[in-house]
Structure 1
Amino acid sequence: MSIAVEEKHTLTTQPPLLEVTWTDPVSGCRGFLVIDRLVRGVCSGGLRMRKGCTLEEVRGLAAGMTLKESLYYRPENRYVPLGGAKGGIDCDPHDPDMRGVLARYIHGISALLETHWAMGEDLGLQQKLIDNVIAELGLQSSIQAVYPLLEDRASAIERLDKAFRIDVDGIGLGELAGGLGVAESVLTALDELGRPIAGTRVVIQGFGSMGGATARYLARAGMLVVGIADANGVIVNPAGLDVETLLKSRNSFGEIDRSALRSEDAELPSSRWLAVETDVLVPAAISYCITPENQSQITASLIVEAANMPVLPAAEVLLAARGTQVVPDFVSNSATNAWWWWTLFGDIGDDAEQSEAKIRSEMRRIVTDMFARAGHRGITLREAALAFTADQLQAIETRFGRS
C-alpha cells in the first residue's frame, strides 16, 4: 500500500541524518536503512522484511524509533537512550531465497552496522536468523555498534545472552518483552479510563511474538481474548479463546494450526477482523491497516497500537470523533527495545521476574503521564505522548548535543 507523505503522523521535526537504498545484485530486491538521529554516535532500530516495503515506510519507522528511545531517558540509569534508525527489505519472508537476500543486505550495510546501527529483529525476521547470518559474515553481533558505550563489555554480552535463553512457560523472555509492554499499556489505559479489566473483551490482529505475548498477558490478567487474526483468517469465540493452546500450535510466522481449535471456536475471513465485537482492539501485525474507509467497522472504544503505524491519521481523526481513543505505537510497542538495553547496560539482570517488573512499572509510568497530559491539556493521547517525548529529547540533546 502506498501512503502519501501528508497522511503520516508528524513524529520528529528534524530530517533524517542518513538514508541508504540498496539493490540486491542477485534478486533485484531493494533494501533501505534510515538513520533518523544519533546519540553518542549510535542509533537503534530493527530490520524488517516484507513484500512492498518502501523507503518512506522505513523513514517513518526510524523517526518512531527516536521517540521510543527517548521515552525511557532517566539521567540516573546506566542505559542512555540511543538515536533512532530502521532497516527494511522489500522481499517476501516466505521467499525461498530470503536468507540469501538478508545476508547480502547485511553485508552491503555492514560498515554502518559495525559502527553506528544497533539492529534487532522486526516484522518478518527472527533474531535467531539475524544472529546466524551475522556470525556467518564474520561480524561480532547485530548490536556491536553499542559495545564501545559499555563499561564491561564481556559481562554485558553474557548477561543479555543469558536473558535470551530464559524460558517463560514455553516462550523465550526476549519474545515476551514487547507483548508484555503492550499488555501493560492496555491494562493501564483501562485503569485510567475507569473501566474494569476482568471480562473486558479484546481482539488482536497478529499472533507472532508481539501479538502472541500480548494475548498471553491480557488473558492472564482476566480479559477475554475474543478474536485473533492471523494470515489465514480470524478465530473468534465470544466466551474467550484458549490462548495458551493456540500459542503452542502456532508456527514461526505466527500462524495458528486450525486443528487446535475447540468446537465452540469459529472462523471468519480475514476481512472481518475489524468487525468482531470487542471493547479493545490491538493491531499487532501490519502498518496502515486501519483506514478512513474501514474504521467505521470498529466497535472498540480503545485501540492500542502494537504494530508500527497501523492507524492512518485520517482514520484516527474519525475514530476520535466517535469516542475511540488510540494509544500510539511508539509508546505501547516500545518495551522490546528498552528491555534489550536495560539488560545489556545492567539496569536489570538476566532475570524474568525483574524484567517483568521493570517493563510493567516503566510502561505504567509513561502511559499514566500520557493520559494526565491529555486530560490536562484537552489533547489526544498521541499529542500528549509527542509532548512527553519532546521534553525527553530536549533533555537528551542538552546533555549529549544534537546529531
Structure 2
Amino acid sequence: MPAAPLLSLTWTDDVTGRRGHLVVDRLVRGVCSGGLRMREGCTLEEVTGLARGMSLKEALHYDPEARYVPLGGAKGGIDCDPRDPEAYGLLVRYLRAVRPYVESCWTTGEDLGLSQDLVDRAAAEAGLVSSVQAVYPLLDDETAARARLADAFAVEVDGIGLDELVGGCGVAESVLTALDRAGVPYARTRVALQGLGTMGGATARFLARAGLTVVAVADVKGTIANPDGLDVEALLFARDAHGTVDRSVLRPGDRELPGDAWLSAEAEVLVPAAVSYAIGAAEQGRITARWIAEAANMPVLPEAEALLHARGVTVLPDVVVNSGTNAWWWWTLFGDVGADADEAFAYTRRSMRALVELVLARAEAGGTTPRAAAHAVAAERLPVIAERFGSHR
C-alpha cells in the first residue's frame, strides 16, 4: 500500500458547484511536478493515483550526470467537460484558488482535456507568473532557462508544435524498443489508437513515419478504421482542439465504426491515449494485440492487466511510456537540451529507449510485468534522490 500523499485537497467552485482536486505526493527540494486535467467525473482518487505516478516518472528519469533534477510528484484535476461553456471560467477560478501552491511548490501544465496555451492563458488571468514558476529558484540562470523554454514552445515541425510532439516521440520509441527486442519488423506491424489529441496524434505520426501501419483511431465520435492503413497526416490536420476528426476528410476505404471498435482491431499494438480506466476485465477479453502502450495515464485497470499478462499480452506502463513530455520540459528548462527539434527528439529517443530496455529486461529476468519492474526501479531511485536532494512526504 503506497504511503499517504503529502497534501490532498478538494475545492468546490462557488459559481458552478463543481469540484477540483490537488494532490502532492511528495516534494523534492521543496518542489513537485504534475499536469492539470479536466474531464467530467474526475475524482480525488484518480488524481491521487496520477500524483503517485508522477513521483515514479520523475524517479525513473533520474540521471546523476544530468542538469535536470527530478522533482516530487503531484497532479491536479477538475470535474468538468472541457467542452462545457463554463469550463474556462472554472479553470481560472481553480487556478486562483490553488495559486499559493503554484507559486510555492506545484509546477503544472497541460493534461487530458486542456492545452498548454489554455493553461497559460488561465494562469495569467489568475495572477500567476507561470504555471511552472515554483521551479525557477532551482535554476542556475532563470532568465536564460525561461527564454530557452519559450523558444522551444515556439518550435513547430510540419505544422505541429514541438511541445505536442515530444510526448508522442517517447511513446513511439517505447513501442519500437519493444518490437526490436522481439525481432518484429516495423513494416508488418499494425497499430490501433484510442485518442488523437496531443499524445495520441503525435504517437500516430511517429509510428507511421517509422513504417508501422495505423489501422484504427478512435475519438469521441467513434472509430475510424482501414485495414490497409489510415492517412495519419490527413487526420491530424482535420482535428479540432479536442482531437475530434472532421469526417469529411475520410477516404472511400475508411470505415466509421463504434467508439470501442479500436479494442478489437486486428493490430499488434494498441495505444490507449485518451482516458483513464479504458480497459477493464471485460474489455481486455476483446484484445488480440500483443502489446499495449499506455500513452494515457492509468488506462488499464489492474485486474485487466493481470488477465492480459496471463495470456501473453505485454502492457508497457504509463509511468514509462508517457513520461517523455514531463521530462522534456525539465530537460529544456534545466539546459540538458536546447530549443531545437532534432536535439529534443534525439535526446528523448535515447532516454526512452534506455529506460524501456531496462524495464523490459528486468521484467523478463524476474518473470514480472513491466509495470512491476518499473515500480521496482523507481523504488530504488527514490531514496537516492531523497538522500541527495531531500524529499518530503
- What TM-score bracket applies, with the shorter chain setting the length? over 0.9
Q: In the alignment, what sits opposite 1:6?
A: none
- Tell me if 1:380 matches 2:393: no
Distance 2:67 2:311 in 1: 43
Q: 2:181 aligns with which of 192, 196, 220?
A: 192
Name the stretch that deviates more: 370-379 or 199-208.
Answer: 370-379
Match of 1:81 in 2: 70
The one-letter code matched in structure 1 to 2:361 is A
What is the DSSP-based 3-state SS (H/G/I as helix, E as strand, rest coil) of the residue aligned with 2:172? helix
- CA distances 1:107-126 after superposition (whole Å, capped 9, x unpaired): 00100010000001100011
- 2:218–2:260 CA contact under 8 A, matched in 1: no
Paired residue for 2:388? 399
Paired residue for 1:112?
101
Matched, 1:39 2:40: no
Q: How far did 1:321 drift?
A: 1.3
Aligned to 1:141: 130
Structure 1 unpaired stretches of 5+: 1-9
Mapped to 2, the partners of 1:379 and 1:56 lie a distance apart of 26
Q: Which residue of 2 aligns with 1:268?
A: 257
Q: How far has the Cα of 1:199 moved from its partner? A: 2.2
Determine helix, strand or coil for the equivalent of 2:8. strand
Letter of the aligned partner of 1:343 in structure 2?
A: T
**For residues 63-108 of structure 1, what are the alpha-carbon distances to aligned partners after superposition, in whole Å with 9 as ceiling and x for unaligned?**
0000111111111111100000000000110110111100000000
Name the TM-score, length of structure 2 as normaliser: 0.99
Q: SS of 2:385's equivalent?
A: helix
Whole-angstrom CA distance in 1 between matches of 2:283 and 2:193: 16
Counterpart CA distance in 2 for 1:305 and 1:120 is 20
Report what 2:18 is aligned to: 29
**Structure 1 residues 341-360: Cα deviation after superposition (integer angstroms, max 9, x where no partner):** 00000011000000000000
Letter in 2 for 1:70: A
Amino acid at match of 1:18: L
Aligned match of 1:292: 281
- Residue number in structure 2 paired with 1:308: 297
> Within 2, Cα distance between the matches of 1:173 and 1:261?
26
Aligned position for 2:379:
390
1:118-177 C-alpha deviation (Å, 9 max, x unpaired): 001100011101111111222110000000000100100000000000010010000111
8 A contact 2:136–2:142 mirrored in 1: yes
Amino acid at match of 2:185: P
Kindly state the Cα deviation for residue 392 of structure 1 after the two structures are TM-superposed.
1.5
Structure-to-structure mapping, 1:2-401, within 5 angstroms: 13-401=2-390
Q: CA deviation at 1:276?
A: 1.1
Name the aligned partner's letter for residue 156 of structure 2: D
Paired residues in the alignment total 392
Deviation, structure 1 residue 335: 0.4
Secondary structure in structure 1 of the residue aligned to 2:188: coil
Identity among equivalent pairs (%): 61
RMSD: 0.8
- Whole-angstrom distance in 2 between the partners of 1:211 and 1:227: 12
After TM superposition, give the deviation of residue 394 of structure 1 in Å: 2.0
Gaps of 5+ in 2: none
Matched-pair contact (CA < 8 Å) for 2:93–2:126: no
Q: Secondary structure at the match of 1:294?
A: helix
Question: Which amino acid letter does the alignment assign opposite residue 218 of structure 1?
Answer: L
